[in-house]
Structure 1
């Protein structure tokens, strides 16, 4: 059997200032346990220093799994007293992997709660919310989940927690919960496409003024779209009935704030001019990122060309939008950006295996990874900055 990713994680080497924390943790743990890091975040460190009670002093939160006793995940909270770490509280969760972990104020009391998602297999995940005060810890909420976000979607100054729960081919629903009168209540829920694979769920500003929930959904081998949900008068609603048609694409693209303006953009795949009749597999798509500007309209904000296999992307300067297309060499070693009218070369990226690279005056090195040196034959230092390694 393959080992889980978390079973391969080893405690990091801590600096001298944190060596006492490591000693305190080792003294509190049973022998042979596995320290856990959140799988979804890819964070290699199982040590979480966070000011839970907002007193300007960090607490330490650690999770572990005892594969011998198989008692489920255990959590530990350490506090520092007179410069020495002490175990304050322990708590439990069902599962063998720590899948998600966030610290956020979801009760409105100014303190941070521990929001932990546990996995007991690929499709079985449970979410727990813990409230800690020195000397006491309480489980406020637990539910099955597929993905979740914490955000103030209705912008009333209080965070909600929104849960997506998918049973592929049977049901899919999103529910927004608010902590009120010492319990989490469901403000509203919405049924979604039960046949969709929800590749990415995020939240934030979706216009200059509105926050929303953004879901990137794959519905077939060559079909995907993005849905945007708003919380209006504590009711979930689609930002546009036409959003599915507006955002339809051949493959899913993760929505994100690509231009760092504070607003989430929606990704779409654009076949370059000249590739309209190419197969899905051989089309060198340009990825366009669009902002929803209300009603049934999207505005193009920027474009990128991704070369995932080789490990780079090139972001188009804004003045390039809709003016260029792509050419590539037969061996796909060279990607060229050329004008649609005239086919004039504007920029190129040449991927050369590291062992074959020989610097010469006809090419400028843009960057390299462990497999390739990336170079250009175009002398234009202003364009070099648009090249990025993945």
Structure 2
């Protein structure tokens, strides 16, 4: 993918598969003295491509980390938290987005910047909770059920698809609003 770094330099972002599941990203910058390969190669546990996540004209490089408490979990069951960062020609990076993505149910919860690296997850039979690591308080909860079932009367509907209803029964938090929930189809 060709795009801009955060400092305005043009670069080529090379996302390459490593083995069956992993990926790496390399960046080659079109500098004043020719092509310059940035020193940092990003190796990712799962494929996560570089793209302009916030529509600002700058490409972000995707990566991920294991939430606290999931370190000893089997690889296939880890609910990775994804994050996207911008880079400059001198290698400085700045995280611009962090989110939990459920690819099976095709949604993501964008984590507000004040909560970057401060949340973990609790998986429920029919939902997921984002939890404050320090206090263990639930910050955001989404539940799902088939569309032909009635959501609880106390539920706030977050989104609906032809097959599923995504809802929450918790009160909206000012610093973690319900608008942080998105269907993956919203990205395309």
Residue of structure 2 equivalent to 1:204 = 3
Alpha-carbon distance in structure 1 between the residues aligned to 2:45 and 2:151? 39
Q: How does 1:178-197 map to 2 (within 5 A)?
A: none
Structure of higher CA gyration radius: 1
The normalised TM-score by structure 1 is 0.44
Cα distance in structure 2, aligned partners of 1:208 and 1:361: 50
Question: How many residues end up aligned between the 2 structures?
Answer: 182
Cα 1:204/1:229, change in 2 over 3 Å: same
Matches of 1:233 and 1:346 in 2, distance apart?
47
Equivalence for 2:118 = 323
| C-alpha separation in 2, matches of 1:381 and 1:270 | 25
Distance of 2:109 and 2:101 partners within structure 1: 7
Match of residue 56 from structure 2 = 261
Distance 1:381 1:262 in 2: 31
Q: Which residue of 1 is the match for residue 137 of structure 2?
A: 344
Which of the numbers 215, 232, 235 marks the counterpart of 2:14?
215
After superposition, what is the alpha-carbon deviation per residue over 1:114-136, rounded to whole angstroms, capped at 9, x for unaligned? xxxxxxxxxxxxxxxxxxxxxxx
Alignment of 1:1-390 (within 5 A): 202-233=1-32, 235-238=34-37, 240-241=38-39, 243-244=40-41, 247-329=42-124, 331=125, 333-356=126-149, 358-380=150-172, 383-390=177-184
Q: How far off its partner does 1:386 sit?
A: 1.1
Query: Mind listing any 5+ residue stretches in structure 2 that lack a counterpart?
Result: none
* C-alpha displacement of 1:260: 2.5
Alignment partner of 1:385: what SS? helix
Structure 2 CA distance for aligned equivalents of residues 205 and 293 of structure 1: 9
Q: Using CA pairs under 8 Å that are at least 6 residues apart, name the structure with larger relative contact order, 1 or 2.
A: 2
- CA distance in structure 1 between the aligned counterparts of 2:120 and 2:97, rounded to whole angstroms: 15
Query: What secondary structure, in the 3-state scheme, does the structure 2 residue paired with 1:248 have?
Result: strand
Distance 1:274 1:289 in 2: 22
CA distance in 1, matches of 2:127, 2:151: 16
User: Aligned partners of 1:388, 1:218: CA distance in 2, in Å?
Assistant: 27
Q: Match for residue 173 of structure 1?
A: none
Q: Gaps spanning 5+ residues in structure 1: where?
A: 1-201
User: What is the SS of the residue equivalent to 1:355?
Assistant: coil
The whole-number CA distance in structure 2 between the counterparts of 1:311 and 1:369 is: 10
Contact 1:223–1:248 under 8 Å retained in 2: yes
Distance (whole Å) between structure 2 residues aligned to residue 344 and residue 337 of structure 1: 9
Structure 2: how far apart are the matches of 1:318 and 1:377? 24
